[in-house]
């Protein structure tokens, strides 16, 4: 009878480990000093582009059965610098300002992929993204006449969030995993119409190189040294039955640290 109970707890423990791992990713912080994105705005009369440094994060996860398979879990590319563009043509021009723009994963937490990383590279295609920020513009001369012919005012703005979900052509790059340390170079590439109802009017493109790094979090590793050992066991014991609950050891997320969590900890223990 005791053996049967033990087996039940082991199976429950394994299920708890899998459930915790399934929805989590490793957060990689973007290095704004080494990351940039080019933004290009095009109309039928021509194009102009500007560059901004990038801040934000990328969240990735790995297949527990095959570490060479990586998933995108979330990302947010935040442009730090205002984008200022001017397109000129004979007898007219349009000035475009984009002071605060971000490109984000459209379904955060919903793993996208996987992509094989066995060669140290990855490539995610048709990634769903949404954009935020406001584009203001002012057109003069012949450009104003062109817009007016399309039923568009010569002075106005565009809320990028109203573009809805768009598909990034690709998010590719390289990744290096050294123990629990991860470094990534991602190269997002997206082109979207500035007006989905009039796709031939013009387009907005974003592409660049983004460097990010972070540390893989190990379940049960309370001191962050990359293993689950006796120091972590001592921390676990101190958390049993304690309120408020020690979130890092409540593996089954039932609001307390108890015997069921101890069974999970036993499975995670690497020692000594």
Cα–Cα dist 157/269, whole Å:
57
Q: Degrees (nearest 5) of the Cα angle 207, 186, 41?
A: 10
Answer whether 95's CB lies under 8 Å from 155's CB: no
pTM exceeds 0.95: no
Tens of pLDDT, residue by residue over 175-225, are 998 877 899 999 999 999 988 888 888 899 999 999 999 987 777 888 877
Tens of pLDDT, residue by residue over 141-180, are 999 998 898 888 999 998 999 989 999 999 999 999 887 7
Query: How far separated are the first and last CA of the chain, in Å rounded?
Result: 31
Q: What is the pLDDT of residue 2?
A: 34
- What DSSP assignment string belongs to 5-32? HHHHHHHHHHHHHHHHHHT--EEEEE-T
Tens of pLDDT, residue by residue over 78-121, are 999 999 999 999 899 999 999 999 999 999 888 999 999 988 99
Q: What is the pLDDT of residue 139?
A: 95
Judged by DSSP in three states, 148 sits in helix
Tens of pLDDT, residue by residue over 224-264, are 777 888 998 899 899 998 888 887 888 777 888 888 888 88
Domain regions of the chain by residue span: 2-16+219-268, 26-215
């Amino acid at each position: 009878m005791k053996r049967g109970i033990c087996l039940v707890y082991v199976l429950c423990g394994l299920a708890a480990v899998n459930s915790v791992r399934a929805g989590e990713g490793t957060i990689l912080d973007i290095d704004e000093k080494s990351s940039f994105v080019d933004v290009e705005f095009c109309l039928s009369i021509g194009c102009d582009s500007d560059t901004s440094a990038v801040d934000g994060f990328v969240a990735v996860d790995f297949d527990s059965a095959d570490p060479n398979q990586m998933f995108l879990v979330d990302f947010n590319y935040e442009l730090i610098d205002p984008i200022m563009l001017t397109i000129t043509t004979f007898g007219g021009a349009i000035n475009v300002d984009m002071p605060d723009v971000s490109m984000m994963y459209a379904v955060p937490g919903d793993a996208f992929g996987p992509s094989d990383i066995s060669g140290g590279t990855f490539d995610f295609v048709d990634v769903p993204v949404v954009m935020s920020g406001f584009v203001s513009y002012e057109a003069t001369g012949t450009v104003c006449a062109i817009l007016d012919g399309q039923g568009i005012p010569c002075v106005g703005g565009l809320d990028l969030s109203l573009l809805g979900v768009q598909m990034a052509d690709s998010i590719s790059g390289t990744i290096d995993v050294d123990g629990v340390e991860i470094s990534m170079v991602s190269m997002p590439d997206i082109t979207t119409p500035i007006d989905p109802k009039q796709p031939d009017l013009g387009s907005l493109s974003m592409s660049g190189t983004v460097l990010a790094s972070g540390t893989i979090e190990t379940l049960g590793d309370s001191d962050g040294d990359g293993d689950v050992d006796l120091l972590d066991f001592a921390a676990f014991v101190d958390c049993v039955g304690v309120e408020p609950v020690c979130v890092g050891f409540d593996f089954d997320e039932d609001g307390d640290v108890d015997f069921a969590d101890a069974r999970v900890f036993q499975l995670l223990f690497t020692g000594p």
